[in-house]
Structure 1
């Protein structure tokens, strides 16, 4: 028998997170709207495939919203736009697409390195 409180997960949260993604919300905001901690949101995504799909879509929608707003602002449609703050936000919010450098793991053995020298 599993311990702890019963889950408060509700399949209707799928629609909620997708709608929040359309508004540019973060996963922390999505968790807040569901009345749970961010870790619970991630646990639900691991336990409920439909919720994982919804969160994945929501994060994509959120990135699209932010990129669209930034594009508009770049061309003067948002008064007081701070490009530096926008770039900082995007690099931290969406690192897979916005980081300046990509990290890579490379493994090479001593034997491989010696063969290259010969």
Structure 2
């Protein structure tokens, strides 16, 4: 048999079900370390398989991108505020089937914490906490200390 024995990846993970499980873990937000642990392999093996098997690499990358986009959209929605419709259901007296008896449009106000987080990450030059202040000129410590001592004597 040319190429030696088949790898564990080909035996267990290189099929529709295996790749779907891997993609699901990535989509659920698991780290590479957690995915490797779920697969029963070391992290170095996971990285090696990513290089060797494009279908494996794609399953991880694409699924992580999808969940990242969902989180970004949810953060933006929360930062800007939104409306939703809340429905109340009750059984119909004649048929017993559940039906909507009340619809209320509710508003979620914009969340300033989400806004700050968004701006600090999207526009760090304008919104970072740490300010860069440049000083030009000289500071004469000896003279400043002498003046402070003079003031302390009086």
- Which structure has the bigger radius of gyration? 2
Question: Per residue, is there more helix in 1 or in 2?
Answer: 1
Of Structure 1 and Structure 2, the greater strand share is in 2
- Compare relative contact order (CA 8 Å, sep 6+) and give the higher one, 1 or 2: 1
TM-score by length of 2: 0.40
